[in-house]
Structure 1
Amino acid sequence: MKVNWFRRQHPLQNGDQLRCHALAKSPIPAHCLELFQKSYPAPNSPLSELKCVVLDFETSGLDPKQDEILSVGMVDIHYPVMSLASAQHYYVQSEQVIHSKTAVINHIVPETLIGGISRHQLIERLVVSLSGKVVIAHGAEIEKHFLRHLLQLDASLPLPLIFLDTLRLERSLMKYRGVMYPDLRLTHVRQQKGLPPYLAHNAFADVVATGELFLALVEEICADKPPLLGPLVLRSL
């Protein structure tokens, strides 16, 4: 009965109920308690009234149980403005051997990580930077999985963050236009939107590139209507 009741709600309402339930009934790690204490905005919340942050992880692989976060980029958006002055970029200390295949892609070698922040510092900065904000990412499943593992969330606990995924937003547009197998890589989608080239696979460059794409997608999706959070969340599922 409870599961069916959750399903009848908008995902934002569902997520907030799960957050409240976890806060009341489950032991939550102290380092991420702040994330659980922030309530979700309503589906009809104007995007212009919300705080957003673009997030990107460069990792040593795709499996958070075996691989590590090597660098993090973040930049704030208060729609329709992206604040470059708010941008953050951190390298993260790693005990893993950096594989040549990933180094070729993201140009992160062991020497790059010397002087990087610790795992504990990374958690602290992410919690402060993401708390109470809508998180924007391109292909957000990677960030979600690595965040869950980093925060050491039990499988019974939700990840108490709202995500808008530029990859899925673009996919929703392509589906509406009848394009069945679109190229959803960040570089390609930006090119299709007429956005300039950028340095791919660098966390700082990627968040700026994703933020620009997000603003372009919202304008395309909403046209002359004020963008609301709820419909964008549904397109990001």
Structure 2
Amino acid sequence: MLFSSSPLKCLAKQRLQTIKQCVNFPPAIDQLLTSPLPLPDDDVRQQTLIALDFETTGLNPKQDQIISIGWVPIIQNVIQLSGAQHFLVKPLSQKNHQQAVIHHILPEMQQQGIPLKQGIDILFQQLAGKVLLAHGSVIERQFLAHYIQQQGWPSLPLIWLDTLKIEQTYHRYSWCSHARVKQDWRLSYLRKCYHLPDYQAHHALSDAIATAELYLAQLKRLFAKEYIPLETLMRASL
């Protein structure tokens, strides 16, 4: 199979190119780049996932800020709440502080947060050998890519799954087939389709847990107990 037709083989090639650039990465990034990649036909249920959510002041990473970070691991198809993490991020400026209030984060609360670099460094320490999961992952991807670029690093080869894209790809087989007609792919709406309970939106950890629950519901509904190659869901998440 050609690199261009296999997302995981493309990542493997990208890894080699990144390592050859001999960038002085911190230890967590070195571990991320040297940990074994899964094989394209490995069962996705055997992978350890990190369900991730960024709350931001807007959609443009060049002018907007990450205001909170939350994630939760999924190990052997079980959401591991004991491994959940949530951080408020100390703002670089007070720009867009009204947007932070929408996320139920008051300015005085945010001032007690941690620097963005510290939060992202802690996240990277969790990622070696893991698969990232997000709902509408474009936000997390773009803000993470912007942070990586600011560090002067080349693009890092990360494995992503996206519950929104998975739903769009397999909507004909889900309980939420009418979502395509309504063009409503919001996390809250899809959770209702899967009979999952309401949750507190616009909170990074709550959204991460909500995404993890939706993902497990999708696996059960769309694939039952069938074997699912990781690369199948990677392609569905593009």
TM-score, normalised to structure 1, is 0.89
**Structure 1 position 96, deviation (Å):** 1.9
Aligned residue for 2:139? 142
Q: Distance in 1 between matches of 2:118 and 2:98?
A: 27
- 1:28 aligns to 2:29 (yes or no): no
Number of the residue aligned with 2:38: 41
Residue in 1 that maps onto 2:231: 230
Which residue matches 1:195? 196
Q: Is the contact made by 2:15 and 2:157 (CA closer than 8 Å) also made in structure 1? A: yes
* Residues 218-227 or 56-65, more deviating: 218-227
Deviation at 1:220, TM superposition (A): 1.9
Shift of 1:209: 0.4
Q: Alpha-carbon deviation of 1:104?
A: 4.3
Aligned partner (choices 4, 13, 18) of residue 17 of structure 1? 13
Write the distance in 2 (CA, Å) between the matches of 1:17 and 1:54: 25
Residue in structure 1 matched with residue 69 of structure 2 by the alignment: 72
What are the residue-to-residue correspondences of 1:207-218 with 2, within 5 Å? 207-218=208-219
Secondary structure, aligned partner of 2:36: coil
3-state DSSP of counterpart to 1:67: coil
Instruction: Report the CA distance shift for 1:53/1:142 in structure 2 as closer, same or farther (over 3 A).
Output: same
CA 1:223 to 1:128, structure 2 compared with 1: closer, same or farther past 3 Å? same
Task: Work out the CA distance in 2 between the residues paired with 1:56 and 1:234.
Answer: 21
1:164 aligned residue (161, 164, 176): 161
What is the SS of the residue equivalent to 1:62? coil
Task: Output the CA distance in 1 between the equivalents of 2:79 and 2:52.
Answer: 13
Unaligned runs of 5+ in 2: none
1:115 matched to 2:115? The reply is no
Q: Is the 8 A contact 1:54 1:74 kept in 2?
A: yes
Contact 2:52 2:208 in 1 (8 A): yes
Percent of counterpart pairs with the same letter?
37
Give the corresponding residue for 2:94. Answer: 97
Alpha-carbon RMSD across the aligned residues, in angstroms, is 2.3
Counterpart in the other structure of 1:220? 221
Residues 67 and 100, structure 2, Cα contact 8 Å, conserved in 1: no
1:22-76 Cα offsets, whole Å, 9 max, x none, are 212x243513333322332111111232211100001111111111111100100
Secondary structure of the residue aligned to 2:42 is: coil
**1:112-162 CA distances to partner (integer Å, 9 max, x unpaired)?**
112211123123201102222000000111101111112236899333110
Cα deviation code 1:85-128 (max 9, x no counterpart): 11100011112215355234312222111221112312320110
- Residues 51 and 21 of structure 1, relative CA distance in 2, 3 Å threshold: same
Secondary structure of the 1:164 match is strand
Contact 2:148 2:154 in 1 (8 A): no
The aligned amino acid for 1:159 is L
The whole-number CA distance in structure 1 between the counterparts of 2:204 and 2:95 is 17
Once residues 34 and 94 of structure 1 are traced to their aligned partners in structure 2, the CA distance between those partners, rounded to angstroms, is: 29
Instruction: Answer yes or no: is the 8 Å Cα contact 2:70–2:87 preserved in 1.
Output: yes
- For this pair of structures, how many residues does the alignment match? 232
The one-letter code matched in structure 1 to 2:89 is V
